[in-house]
Amino acid sequence: KRAVTEKYMGPLIKTIMTRCIQCTRCVRFATEVAGVEEIGLVNRGEHAEITTLEKAVNSELSGNMVDVCPVGALTSRPYAFSARPWELRKTDSIDVMDAVGSNVRVDTRGREVMRVLPRLHEEINEEWISDKTRHACDGLARQRLDRPYLRNGEGRLEAVSWAEAFRAIGERLKGLDGGKIAALAGDLCDAESMFALKQLMNGLGSQNLDCRQDGAKLDPSCRAGYLFNTTIAGIEQADAVLLVGTNPRWEAAMINARLRKRFLQGGVKAGLIGQRVDLTFPYDYLGAGPDSLAELAEGRGAFAEVLEKAERPMLILGMGALARDDGAAVLATARKLAERFGMIGEGWNGF
């Protein structure tokens, strides 16, 4: 039996390279789907082996290499030797680490989440998930605030029972005018809890509720103003893409993977307004601020011709552009641009 030296592929991938059959599925995934050239096949014949290219794997989709390996040469390092598959309870769920809503399967043992795996859904995440989706449960399981705390007479926090905490909240809210009470929901708050919070605030006579912790200037009265109207699968039909104030590779890795898939098919161009970012597909850099967006909305610049000729142009507006003080103006300019270049029409909504 041929022995092969183990490779260090980072903190997420454990290698047992003696099992490797050099099928190169991991290499193909890295180069074609993830868009990185960080692993490859070196040498020939019986000396051939899969290895990293002078550094550990640093892709935001690296965990999927474990899924595509048919022989277990690549396994999950955090999950290794922690549980047996038949011990786990498998629950279908939806990822909440970003706004994509990737379909996942959560494997648990008792009250502990052991691992998160992707579920096939061609319209959303296909068969992939990001490393954040896969491994966020490790971070969320540690240093949790699992009990309420109140400040004592010395101003220090001390653990109390839930009854004491609710009693303190009730005393603090007693007699307050509803207009002086506000509620803010966290990013990981579930819909039922937010609905209960809304009912509580309404009962107290307050309409001051929000879930936007970054202060994004979105109009909640119109759902089309904050939905991904193109749909994720619809990206594959676009022939021109404009990114404004976003880095899809880190904010929504599955959106970036779908954009790369579209670019591999050919016949599409992309432009970026905002901070320069390292994406896995080529793009034209159009500027950094709202002035560049306004110029494009007026039809100036080479990329305006690209949008003019496109049959199905689309615009992806990031939360970074809307969290600015002039976020409402940026949204209005983006809407003006979408109308000018026909991004919203019969059978197509690219905005």
200 and 109 assigned to the same domain? no
In a domain, 153, yes or no: no
Of the candidates 113, 126, 117, the one whose C-alpha atom is nearest the C-alpha of residue 63 is 117
- Region 156-179: mean pLDDT is 91
By percentage, how much of the chain surpasses pLDDT 70? 100
State the average pLDDT over residues 84-89.
94
CA-based nearest residue to 87, from 112, 67, 70: 112
Per the domain annotation, does 261 fall within a domain? Answer: yes
Helix (H) / strand (E) containing 13? strand 13-15
Q: What secondary structure letter does DSSP report for 88?
A: P
Which of 52, 76, 100 terminates a domain? The answer is 76
Same domain, 185 and 239: no
The verdict on residue 171 lying in a domain is no
Across 105-110, average pLDDT? 94
Task: Let me know if residue 169 belongs to a domain.
Answer: no
Range of the structural domain that residue 34 is part of: 13-76
Mean predicted lDDT score pLDDT of the chain: 91
Which tens digits make up the pLDDT trace of 57-85?
A: 889 999 999 999 999 999 999 999 999 99
Is there a domain that residue 22 lies in? yes
Same domain, 274 and 340: yes
Judge whether 308 and 345 are in contact, CB under 8 Å.
no
pLDDT tens digits along 208-243: 998 888 888 887 777 877 888 899 999 999 999 999
Mean pLDDT of 314-322: 90
Tell how far CA 304 is from the center of its chain.
29
Write the Ramachandran bin of 104: left for phi over 0, alpha for psi from -120 to 50, otherwise beta. beta
Q: What is the pTM assigned to this prediction?
A: 0.87
The confidence score (pLDDT) of residue 117 equals 95
Domain at 37, CATH number: 3.30.70.20
**Pair 125, 232 in one domain:** no
Does some domain include residue 161? no
Residue 286: in which H helix or E strand, if any?
strand 284-287
| Domain assignment present for 165 | no
Question: Can you give the pLDDT at residue 289?
Answer: 86
Residues 49, 92 within the same domain: no
- Report the SS3 class of residue 258: helix
Q: What pLDDT score was predicted for residue 285?
A: 95
Same domain? 323 vs 261: yes
